[in-house]
Amino acid sequence: MFKAPKKIKKLATFFLASLIIITSFILGFHNATLYSPSHGFDGKDHLYYIEYLNKYWKLPSPKSFPEGHQPPFYYLIGATLMLFTGTWKIAQYVNIFVLWMIISMVGLGLWKVFKKKEQVLIGMFSLAGLPMLNIFPAMISNELLGTFWIVSSIVACLFLVKAKTNWQFVKYMIWLAFSLVMGYWTKQSILFIVPIVFLTLMIMILSQKNKRGFSIFFSVVIFLIVISLSSPIYLRAKNANVGDPIRFALTKTKYAPKPIEYYFRLDWIYKTDMYNTQYYSLIGAAWNSFWTDGHNAITPFIKFHKKSFVLWSMGFLLFPLCLYGLIKQLRINKEFSLIINSTGFLMLAIYIFANFTIYGHYSSARLTYEMGIVVPYAFGIASAAENKTIRKLLIILLSIQFVVMVSFFWIQPWWHVTK
């Protein structure tokens, strides 16, 4: 049987990877150019934050408008870019680059675990075509940058759990601390992965024999620094009666009980309901926000769309393959798997908690607060790709998903989101 020379395979891989990246950037720039930031998730308020900073060069009152309590880092980037153009439009292109910062950071973590180029690239490809992430590049929003710091923290944990020397431990702890601080200065939802950080430190410290004293002492020092550097943002949010997202969900949100079937009903599958499940099904709402634009943040609302149906259906093939990969990896490397799988379970638990607590809140029915779930997804796909037959299947499925996603998300001038 004919086998292609290695040079041809490398050239083909390089060409396909370059094509995916270029296409992704073209999609991002096209959509950002046409998309009106008044749409999306609190678009007008995110835009106002940037304009306020650019005009006054001071933070707005945390109570001044709905997004006023948000940490300022993302908005400072947008306001700084406005100095070069005089228009907020330049800020709308930031998330195009942040998307690939996320994908690259996940790729770094994949390389740490798998050490095989094919698996790393397929894991990264799984995110390049994931609708959940590709909804945001056209918007002015701190969601993607917040996700980047969450991903960076999780990847730092993967490196940290395998630290062998004191220098490696110090280096990875500084990386983790920086990610946590910058994440908190970007979006408070990074607090949700703090249990993963403590799990990582517990695994690492328990595996040590002669260095536990140093590791515990340095960890305490680092976290005191993290708390100190994050405290201005916490105090600012506290002044807005928000504090942190966990306390806010527990004490400040409207609660009303939901029918028990809301948490498990699956009739959205045979109804092929890709748009309305957030009103009656927790599982369906999560599924649609992950695999397609189930909340019509970019695409126009119609009852049924063939391209959306393809993306929606892809999940029924990709999700089992992801689970297979995560289970397989658990048998190979328990330390990595414990961190990755715990991240997935934690994100799902927070999603259920948010739906149980934040009654009627638009954001609670989508996975925006739990964006860290893209990490276990990419790792599951990459792990499954170790099998040559499954790898070929994944390349086909992910290629279909990417092409359809680009076509479906390609904003047309007459869509309502352009006005």
Q: Characterize 41-61 residue by residue with b for buried, 16 or more Cβ atoms within 10 angstroms of its Cβ, and e for exposed.
A: bbbbbbbbbbbbbbeeeebbe
Of 419, 127, 359, 340, the residue nearest 135 (C-alpha) = 127
In this prediction, residue 139 carries a pLDDT of 92
Mean pLDDT, range 277-301, rounded to an integer: 90
Residue 360 has a pLDDT of: 54
The mean per-residue pLDDT over the stretch 49-70 comes to 87
8 Å CB contact between 344 and 376: yes
The two tokens of residue 98 are 């942040």
Q: Which amino acid, one-letter code, is at 77?
A: I
* Model confidence pLDDT, tens digit, residues 329-371: 988 888 999 999 999 999 999 998 888 775 556 677 888 889 9
| pLDDT tens by residue, 194-253 | 999 999 999 988 887 667 888 889 999 999 999 999 999 988 887 766 666 555 555 555
CA separation for the pair 335, 405 (Å, rounded): 34
Angle subtended at Cα 337 by Cα 335 and Cα 340, rounded to the nearest 5 degrees? 115
For residue 1, the model assigns a pLDDT of 45
Q: Summarize the chain as % helix, strand, coil (round to 5).
A: 75, 0, 25
331: helix, strand or coil: helix
pTM across the whole model: 0.93
User: What mean pLDDT value characterizes the chain?
Assistant: 90
Residues contacting residue 179 through CB under 8 Å, at least 6 positions apart: 149, 152, 153, 156
Contacts of 404 (CB under 8 A, 6+ apart): 307, 310, 311, 314
Q: In this structure, are residues 184 and 236 in contact, taking their beta carbons and an 8 Å threshold?
A: no
pLDDT given for residue 19 in this prediction: 95
Report the percent of the chain where pLDDT is more than 90.
64
Q: pLDDT, tens digit, for every residue of 107-129?
A: 999 999 999 999 999 999 999 99
Note the pLDDT of residue 215: 85
- pLDDT above 70 (res 100): yes
Sign of CA dihedral 194, 197, 202, 205: negative
Tell me what pLDDT residue 256 has: 62
For residues 18-44, average pLDDT:
92
d(Cα 205, Cα 220) in Å, to the nearest integer? Answer: 13
How many residues does this entry show for the chain? 419
Report whether pLDDT(255) > 60: no
For the segment 161-193, what is each residue's pLDDT rounded down to a tens digit? 988 888 999 999 999 999 999 999 999 889 999
Given this model, what pLDDT does residue 253 score?
A: 55
* The pLDDT value given to residue 303: 81
Q: Residue 381: its pLDDT value, please?
A: 98
Give, in order, the Cα–Cα distances in Å from 103 to each of 24, 182, 353: 12, 18, 27
Contact 311, 408 (CB under 8 A): yes
